[in-house]
Chains A and B, each alone.
Chain A
């Protein structure tokens, strides 16, 4: 919690005859994050070179390429497929690769070619139809326009009728806002005729190479396209049948061969000498003991494994999150920004709690919450990969938060629920039912400012904690820690000064006490001192940071968006209801007529469109503004990130087993 998984750095060394066994064992455990060996900056491994792939790598790779190409033809993707209850045995898969892969590949290639040929033909025919289109106004056979020795045929569009000065036979007919012109002129006069035509705005069109009138040929091509499309459907059907038949085998092959290729290429990441190899990498600390003993067992004691000391701050330790289940999905929001550094506080849990609260605060509406919940449930069918599932869980949490806040605000699609709002009233005075004093805008704004003050203070405190953990004890560390304290002091000092001058709702009342100095009371003076001390502390850390002092106000006020964005969404909902129901539907219900029913339907459409748009805006607004408050206002106070992802060598097997 609050910290990434503790890691241990391991060093494995053995003679090269153990290479394959070690790689196989590492792959099976799926725990070892390989630290890539780079020849140019090998510390302590000078003179070593990167290893050669294991034998069989190129065969497996080429087989894998074949499998992927078949998968592509059939539209099979191992990522989007659920694993079967019964997994395939690897020996079986291997046999089937030997026996069936050739046939399957041939079928796939044949299908693919047939499909492409059909698609190309259809496309070609469609182009022909487009080319023929201008000539549909020309009633004669198109073949008659070709093959003259002494004449030239000019065809094209002209904006208006043209009469040529040279001897000619001309056909002209209106076509699509301009005219189709076909002129037959003696070969000798062709140049002159062309000049005249171009002056009249002539745009040449090539005459299609067809035998028959344009109309006849168009009908023929259209028929052909329909026939070919039916044929294509048949091919697609057969492809689908083949896919159904072979999908399970293909993904199993993919998995098996991917594993083989990855294993075969692993030595490329190790350091090797003539006879030995050295692999460096990371495993979670709690698995070290079992991992080491398993590896010793597999190699029959012929390998050397040891835990290596490492500097947790300087070295790039791979980061694996270590969070309770409820906040695991939120890791995706932290990843989107950047993974935490090894010794840094992991803020995932904080976000998993605060983010839904912010979202609910903005989009607190029971109706919207229920719709979002249903939408998230529906999307589960389509987003099957890890990140998608994580996002959907976050989405579910924010929907529930939205419902809870909706119950507090007493809002249902912008209507009031049968009880009064608890705590905060967001009902605007819109429509004839409007009563009461309107929304508690000032209350909400002050409340959000409070949230901002606390959130930012908390962020600064985390920075102090991080600094104490990540910076070596000394002058620099104390400067950073006190610098952050300075920021907190300035903020609270300013608050004290404001409280001593003005009375504000939800804030301590410190005004009205006797003045101590220049009309300012004791609290004000104390505040001023805090500000001064704070500025000195900040300046000691870095004078440049003093330029950012106005940020204190802008960042705190930025939290006012929680109130403002939420209120605008309520306003849209209420206005939609007012227009759809009070202005359109209600008057028609008063005296119903057939025409009125149509108007009522229009009203319902307005209602639906309005709320759909508002939900979309609400999700965008609620989600983006909440996450932005985290990324910009909260994270900039303490979070550095930049940790690299823990990617163990190996793979969880979905489709095959030994």
Chain B
């Protein structure tokens, strides 16, 4: 078994590595999730603004709502790394 041959240094190093992978996944996957959500909202928002400029404030809000997902991912990543 691999675990039996693992020294303390190796274990610590792999812990570090897994942290980095976890942080990467946290940002990457949440980023994709945000992108998928904004993919639908963005064009609709642009269309609405083109029709009526006054909706800009409202559609900006609607567009950036999914951004919260990736920010959470980023926060989790930062907490993992530091």
On whether the two chains bind one another, the answer is yes
List residues of A whose CB falls within 8 A of some B CB: 336-338, 438-439, 441-442, 445, 554, 557-558, 560-561, 563-565, 567-568, 624, 628, 631-632, 636, 641
Instruction: Answer whether A558 and B68 are a contact pair too, CB < 8 Å, given A336-B57, A338-B57, A631-B61.
Output: yes
Confirm or deny: B65 has a beta carbon within 8 angstroms of a beta carbon on chain A: yes
Instruction: Output the least CB separation between B65 and chain A (Å).
Output: 7
Instruction: Answer whether A439 and B82 are a contact pair too, CB < 8 Å, given A628-B60, A631-B61, A632-B65.
Output: yes
Confirm or deny: B50 has a beta carbon within 8 angstroms of a beta carbon on chain A: no
B64 touches A568 (CB 8 A): no
Residues of B within 8 A of A442 (CB): 79, 82
Query: Which residues of B41-82 have CB atoms within 8 Å of chain A's CB atoms?
Result: 54, 56-57, 60-61, 64-65, 67-68, 71-72, 74-75, 78-79, 81-82
Q: Which residue of A lies closest to B62 (CB)?
A: A632
Tell me, in angstroms, the Cα distance from A460 to B71 when the chains sit together: 23
Instruction: Output the least CB separation between A456 and chain B (Å).
Output: 14
Name the one of A564, A632, A641 contacting B75, with C-beta atoms under 8 angstroms: A564
Query: Contact residue range for chain B?
Result: 10 to 19
Instruction: Output the least CB separation between A361 and chain B (Å).
Output: 15
B78 touches A567 (CB 8 A): yes
Tell me, in angstroms, the Cα distance from A370 to B61 when the chains sit together: 31
Q: Which residue of A lies closest to B53 (CB)?
A: A336
Instruction: Output the least CB separation between B37 and chain A (Å).
Output: 14
Tell me, in angstroms, the Cα distance from A641 to B56 when the chains sit together: 13
B79 touches A445 (CB 8 A): yes
Main SS class of interface, A:
helix
7 A-B pairs with CB atoms under 8 Å apart are A336-B56, A338-B57, A439-B82, A441-B79, A441-B82, A557-B68, A628-B60
A445 touches B60 (CB 8 A): no
Residues of A within 8 A of B71 (CB): 557-558, 560-561, 564
B78 touches A441 (CB 8 A): yes
Tell me, in angstroms, the Cα distance from A558 to B64 when the chains sit together: 11
A560 touches B75 (CB 8 A): yes
Residues of A within 8 A of B57 (CB): 336-338, 631, 641
Residues of B within 8 A of A641 (CB): 57
Instruction: Output the least CB separation between A389 and chain B (Å).
Output: 20
Instruction: Answer whether A557 and B79 are a contact pair too, CB < 8 Å, given A336-B57, A632-B65.
Output: no
Residues of B within 8 A of A439 (CB): 82
Tell me, in angstroms, the Cα distance from A565 to B65 when the chains sit together: 16
A568 touches B74 (CB 8 A): yes
Name the one of B54, B61, B64, B75 contacting A557, with C-beta atoms under 8 angstroms: B75
A557 touches B72 (CB 8 A): yes
Instruction: Output the least CB separation between A272 and chain B (Å).
Output: 31
A554 touches B68 (CB 8 A): yes
Instruction: Output the least CB separation between A553 and chain B (Å).
Output: 10
A631 touches B78 (CB 8 A): no
Residues of B within 8 A of A337 (CB): 56-57, 60
Instruction: Output the least CB separation between B6 and chain A (Å).
Output: 26
Known A561-B71, A631-B60; 4 more pairs at CB < 8 Å = A441-B79, A564-B78, A632-B65, A636-B61
- Across chains A and B, which 9 residue pairs bring their CB atoms closest together, nearest first? A337-B57, A441-B82, A564-B74, A561-B71, A560-B75, A628-B64, A632-B61, A441-B78, A338-B57
Tell me, in angstroms, the Cα distance from A563 to B71 when the chains sit together: 10
Tell me, in angstroms, the Cα distance from A568 to B81 when the chains sit together: 13
Residues of A within 8 A of B61 (CB): 631-632, 636
Tell me, in angstroms, the Cα distance from A442 to B78 when the chains sit together: 9
Instruction: Output the least CB separation between B58 and chain A (Å).
Output: 8
Tell me, in angstroms, the Cα distance from A332 to B60 when the chains sit together: 15
Q: Which residue of A lies closest to B65 (CB)?
A: A632
Tell me, in angstroms, the Cα distance from A564 to B67 when the chains sit together: 13
Residues of B within 8 A of A558 (CB): 68, 71
Residues of B within 8 A of A636 (CB): 61
Interface centre among B72, B74, B78, by most chain A C-beta atoms within 10 angstroms, is B78
Tell me, in angstroms, the Cα distance from A557 to B70 when the chains sit together: 12
Instruction: Output the least CB separation between B27 and chain A (Å).
Output: 9
Residues of B within 8 A of A438 (CB): 82
Q: Which residue of B lies closest to A559 (CB)?
A: B71
Q: Which residue of B lies closest to A429 (CB)?
A: B82
Residues of B within 8 A of A564 (CB): 71, 74-75, 78
Residues of A within 8 A of B79 (CB): 441-442, 445
Q: Which residue of B lies closest to A441 (CB)?
A: B82
